[in-house]
Amino acid sequence: MTKAEKEPEKKEFEPPKEERVQTHHTLTIGGQTIHYTATAGTLVLREEKEEEGEPKAKASIFYIAYTKDDAGEIGSRSITFSFNGGPGSSSVWLHLGLLGPRRVLMDDIGNALQPPYRLVDNEFSLLDKTDLVFIDPVSTGFSRAAAGEKPKQFHHFQKDIELVGEFIRLFTSREKRWTSPKYLIGESYGTTRAAGLSGYLQGRHGMNLNGIMLISSILNFQTARFTVGNDLPFILFLPTYTAIAWYHGRLNETLQADLRQTLAEVEAFAEGEYATALMKGAKLPAAEATVIRQKLARYTGLSESYIEQTNLRVNIHRFTKELMRTERRTVGRLDGRFLGIDRDSAGEHFEYDPSYAQIQGTYTATLNDYVRRDLAYENDLPYEILTGRVWPWSYETHQNEFVNVAETLRSAMSQNPFLRVFVANGYYDLATPYFATEYTFNHLELDPTLQPNISMAYYEAGHMMYVHQPSLAQLKRDLDQFLLGNQ
């Protein structure tokens, strides 16, 4: 056998190809007929190389974009880039739940209807105010690493920001949108990405944003990590425990009378007596511990004995299992309004999140049908709605510290004083509690002259507050006002 015969053949990888399919549609918003073009396709992101030859492909990013027809000079119409979080989530939730021209049909509360599921025209879409681009990061949706590239390299806090930032730069350049007012809207970990992008786009590409819309925000991970020695989440989750207990009628008559009045009382207790008690630790006198235990039981709907067993510290997983244990029900993490049924009522954790169970099947079915039937885009890959393929997600740039992109946002706002931020909070959201978000923004150390650039709104729903019809209508009004305020 010759030497040439012994050597294995080099594997040739076919480079990814860019795709672009356009369709034309109409939508009525507030009595106004919107004619728009939908574009479904992929952009191939490549390494920047100095030597001759085509730069090496790194990833193929799937996107769906909507542009209003006959909108005048394209460089003057605003454009909004949208993504969800996870990490591991596609952009489907904001796309088919809130922003896009079509939305999933559910009941007014947010319960899934009997299958087959369907879409309806979304009279609450933002397409009357801004063009929309929905981005699926690598390994989500139809986005994939290029052949020969390891997907793991993109499952990384900083690399994810850089990759999505490169997509935004490339799309902006190709579509001639550099002079368009530019916005980001992210949900959950997508708010982490958005805050990171505010600094990255500004610093790397000189791209100043007009605004960022944060839906169910988490910027400082210390506020939501129930690790031993970190008492902050116990304090910041408490008002949401109260809100969920209120929704299910687990509080006394006085507290059940008015949700917002009750929450104001609990917030004062949480950042006052309760925070002080946890700070004291073993120095907390027995008499004070008794008072704290009694108040925690009163505000959470849990028993004093259970509160005592937790050392005055109830974590999220215990709460979702314990609140309705006597009824053999669990409450949702994404949205505490929803109830689940486990095999038994023992144990500390629920078997599944009942609030996610309401949306998983509906959004999956409708997206897969919509992209092929209405948008005429064909792809045999599975559309990854919310995948675990990105785990473990790398935070190696934050070794021995909590991720905190709030400082990135503060710096971006300081350098670009026209950057405005809107934050939407759901009272029944245990994934990103509203009081934790308030804490984060109250600790930005932002200059007082820039404080008016931040606005917050609250909704009587959960993480995806838009599944609740009244909250969806309110959120549309709030986002419209935010966008109009930037013109």
Question: Are 182 and 87 part of one and the same domain?
Answer: yes
Residue 387 has pLDDT above 90, yes or no: yes
CA dihedral 195, 197, 199, 202 (to 10 degrees): -140
Q: pLDDT at position 73, please?
A: 84
Please write the tens of the pLDDT for every residue from 336-354: 999 999 999 999 999 999 9
Residue 284 has pLDDT above 80, yes or no: yes
Residue 14 has pLDDT above 80, yes or no: no
Q: pLDDT at position 6, please?
A: 53
Question: Are 328 and 391 part of one and the same domain?
Answer: no
Alpha helices in 37-102 (DSSP H): 92-94
Question: Are 209 and 298 part of one and the same domain?
Answer: no
Give the span between the Cα atoms of 234 and 313, in whole angstroms: 6
Half-sphere exposure of 207 (CA within 13 A, CB side): 24
Question: Are 200 and 57 part of one and the same domain?
Answer: yes
Question: Are 339 and 408 part of one and the same domain?
Answer: no
Residue 11 resides in a domain: no
Q: pLDDT at position 428, please?
A: 98
Residue 14 resides in a domain: no
Give the span between the Cα atoms of 377 and 18, in whole angstroms: 13
Give the span between the Cα atoms of 334 and 465, in whole angstroms: 9
The CATH number that applies at residue 212 is 3.40.50.1820
The helix (H) or strand (E) run that includes residue 479 is: helix 469-485
Residue 304 resides in a domain: yes
The helix (H) or strand (E) run that includes residue 165 is: helix 157-174
Give the span between the Cα atoms of 25 and 64, in whole angstroms: 14
Q: How confident is the model at residue 220 (pLDDT cuts 50, 70, 90)?
A: very high
Percent of the chain with pLDDT strictly greater than 70: 95
Give the span between the Cα atoms of 406 and 421, in whole angstroms: 12
Question: Are 409 and 477 part of one and the same domain?
Answer: yes
Residue 7 resides in a domain: no
Alpha helices in 185-310 (DSSP H): 189-205, 232-247, 253-256, 259-269, 275-280, 286-300, 304-309
Give the span between the Cα atoms of 102 and 67, in whole angstroms: 14
Q: Which of 336-350, 352-366, 388-402 has the weakest average pLDDT?
A: 388-402
Question: Are 309 and 366 part of one and the same domain?
Answer: no
Question: Are 479 and 369 part of one and the same domain?
Answer: yes
**Number of domains into which the chain is organized:** 2
Question: Are 203 and 243 part of one and the same domain?
Answer: no
If we measure between CA atoms, which residue out of 157, 169, 168 comes closest to residue 85? 157
Range 148-175 average pLDDT: 96
Question: Are 231 and 215 part of one and the same domain?
Answer: no
Q: How confident is the model at residue 485 (pLDDT cuts 50, 70, 90)?
A: confident
For residue 71, which phi and psi values (nearest 5 degrees)? -95, 10
Alpha helices in 301-329 (DSSP H): 304-309, 316-322
Contact yes or no for 160/137 (Cβ under 8 A) = yes
Residue 53 has pLDDT above 80, yes or no: no
Exposure string for 409-424, b = 16+ CB within 10 A, e = fewer:
bbebbeebeebbbbbb
CA distances from 295 to 238, 239, 252, 337 (A): 11, 12, 12, 23
Residue 43 resides in a domain: yes
Q: Which long-range contacts does 4-7 make (Cβ < 8 Å, 24+ apart)? A: none
Residue 202 resides in a domain: yes
Q: pLDDT at position 170, please?
A: 97
Q: Which of 6-20, 165-179, 399-413 has the weakest average pLDDT?
A: 6-20
CA distances from 145 to 57, 72, 149, 176, 196 (A): 9, 37, 6, 26, 22
Q: What domain range is 250 assigned to?
A: 226-352
Question: Are 280 and 172 part of one and the same domain?
Answer: no
The strand pairing partners of 455, in sequence order, are 422
Question: Of 300, 325, 352, at which residue does a domain stop?
Answer: 352
Tokens matching residue 233: 């989440």
Q: pLDDT at position 1, please?
A: 45
Question: Of 322, 352, 382, at which residue does a domain stop?
Answer: 352
Q: How confident is the model at residue 400 (pLDDT cuts 50, 70, 90)?
A: confident
Residue 197 resides in a domain: yes
Please write the tens of the pLDDT for every residue from 95-148: 999 999 999 999 999 999 999 999 999 999 999 999 999 999 999 999 999 999
Question: Of 352, 386, 403, at which residue does a domain stop?
Answer: 352
Question: Are 396 and 467 part of one and the same domain?
Answer: yes
The strand pairing partners of 36, in sequence order, are 25, 68
Q: pLDDT at position 457, please?
A: 98
Range 248-264 average pLDDT: 98
Residue 12 resides in a domain: no
Residue 157 has pLDDT above 80, yes or no: yes
Q: How confident is the model at residue 358 (pLDDT cuts 50, 70, 90)?
A: very high
Q: pLDDT at position 399, please?
A: 86
